[in-house]
Amino acid sequence: MITDGEFSALIAEAAETIPEPTAADAILAAARDEIDPPSVASPIAKVRRHPRGFAISALGAAAVLAILITVAVSSSSSPPGIARRALPPLALGRGAAPAFDETQTMAGVTKVKDTSSASSAASAGSQKIITTGTLSLVVHESALGHVVAELQAIATSLGGYVSTSNVALAGSSRGGTVVLGVPAGEFQKAVSEAESLGTLKHLSTSATDVTGQVADLSAQVSALEAARTQLEALFARAGTIQALLSVQNEITSVQSQIQQLQAQQRVLANEISFSSLTVALAMPSATHGSAPGRFSKAWHQAVSHVEGGLATLLADSGIVLFSVVLLVLIGLLVLFGGRLLWSFVRRRLV
């Protein structure tokens, strides 16, 4: 048994017998070959000493620049939302077909359209889209019954139906919800006709692309039907009672799965062909009851003024301010990105 110290001495002795190295001159010569420009303290200059490091840093900076330019181009092609909000309040035209491409708050009316999953899909004819909408209307209490009847008439006239109606026509909690099912092609028409029945407070529409889901269901049904055909062939050839029962069980199981999937297909097909429009009806008094307090109102006014001020500033400064901010951001990102990359490359290469 020897101690750690003795073991170290043993290995040191072994190392000392290694011949004295003499190749240091070669290293010095190679290092001298590498000395061309004097050392510069900037990170970029440090990176340039090593071609791999420089290449990686350059690629990283180019990637950051490309992303920023892409973002800037897409921003300039679709006007920023804040600029839209700076527009003077618009009167909501009754009966005008809504063309909502963004969230807008105008004269107390909120309109939202969610096309995140179907924005590009809508243009393609083969896409399967489920469209839904929610409409909040304020109607006079005396007109409530009439509005409900009108909503039913709208649905019927467009070839649709009223799927749910839950409206209290009397009492303190008058109001409620009517859900219309209208053919997908008539959805916008139903929205514009329904919003003309009262004072519009909120409108949101949503389009969901379910093309993949439809295709998936179809493929699953096809596969299961093929499996069922094979099982039926096996059933015909089964030689024993046990085999017959076993195959029969399998066929029953597969058949059950097929029916479940086909039910899902029917539901999806109905949702695709008939858009759902939920109309919430409220009394004017109800809206007064939920009106914000003075402090809340003052807060919202202050926020609105700040937004307006920012919008005015942006509108006045125009593209110049935007460009300056963008350039500063690019500069900062390139600087810090380059330093990070340099640090990473340095650690990997050393």
Partner 1 sequence: MVTDTNPGELEELLQQWYAPAYRTAALLLGDAAKVDDAVQEAFLRLWRFRDALPEGDGLRPWIYRVVVNACYSSARTETRHAGRRAPQDALDAVVSSDPTPDELADQRDRASLVRQAILSLPAGLRAPLVLRYYAGLSEKEIATAIRRRPGTVKSRLHEARRLLANDPRLAHLGLGLSSSGQEEAK
| Nearer to partner 1 (CB atom), residue 12 or residue 291 | 12
Using CB under 8 A, list all residues that contact partner 1.
Answer: 1-4, 7-8, 10-18, 20-21, 23-24, 26-28, 30-32, 34-35, 38-39, 41, 46, 49-50, 346, 349-350
Q: How far is the CB of 331 from partner 1 (least distance, A)?
A: 24
| Nearer to partner 1 (CB atom), residue 21 or residue 318 | 21
Distance CA 63, CA 55 (A): 12
Q: How far is the CB of 12 from partner 1 (least distance, A)?
A: 6
With H, G, I as helix, E, B as strand and everything else as coil, classify residue 2: coil
Q: How far is the CB of 62 from partner 1 (least distance, A)?
A: 24
Q: How far is the CB of 18 from partner 1 (least distance, A)?
A: 5
With H, G, I as helix, E, B as strand and everything else as coil, classify residue 141: helix
Q: Which of 264, 145, 270, 159 is nearest to 216 (CA)?
A: 264
| Nearer to partner 1 (CB atom), residue 40 or residue 67 | 40
Q: How far is the CB of 45 from partner 1 (least distance, A)?
A: 10
Q: Which residues, other chains included, contact 313 with Cβ-Cβ below 8 Å and sequence gap of 6+?
A: 321
Distance CA 308, CA 80 (A): 14
| Nearer to partner 1 (CB atom), residue 32 or residue 294 | 32
- What amino acid occupies position 158? L
| Nearer to partner 1 (CB atom), residue 5 or residue 293 | 5
Q: How far is the CB of 339 from partner 1 (least distance, A)?
A: 13
Q: How far is the CB of 332 from partner 1 (least distance, A)?
A: 23
| Nearer to partner 1 (CB atom), residue 50 or residue 174 | 50
Q: Could you give the angle at which helices 51-77 and 294-349 cross, rounded to 10 degrees? A: 160
Cite the DSSP H helix spans in the chain. Answer: 4-16, 24-34, 43-48, 51-77, 81-85, 144-157, 187-195, 211-237, 241-273, 284-289, 294-349
Q: Are strands 175-183 and 161-168 parallel, antiparallel or unpaired?
A: antiparallel
Any idea what DSSP says for residue 102?
A: S
Q: How many CB atoms lie within 10 A of CB 250?
A: 16
| Nearer to partner 1 (CB atom), residue 90 or residue 349 | 349
| Nearer to partner 1 (CB atom), residue 45 or residue 315 | 45
Distance CA 105, CA 85 (A): 7
Q: How far is the CB of 327 from partner 1 (least distance, A)?
A: 30
| Nearer to partner 1 (CB atom), residue 46 or residue 128 | 46
Distance CA 199, CA 204 (A): 15
Q: How many CB atoms lie within 10 A of CB 50?
A: 16
CA R_g for the chain = 35
Q: How far is the CB of 42 from partner 1 (least distance, A)?
A: 11
Q: Which residues, other chains included, contact 330 with Cβ-Cβ below 8 Å and sequence gap of 6+?
A: 64, 65, 68
Q: Are strands 104-106 and 109-114 parallel, antiparallel or unpaired?
A: antiparallel
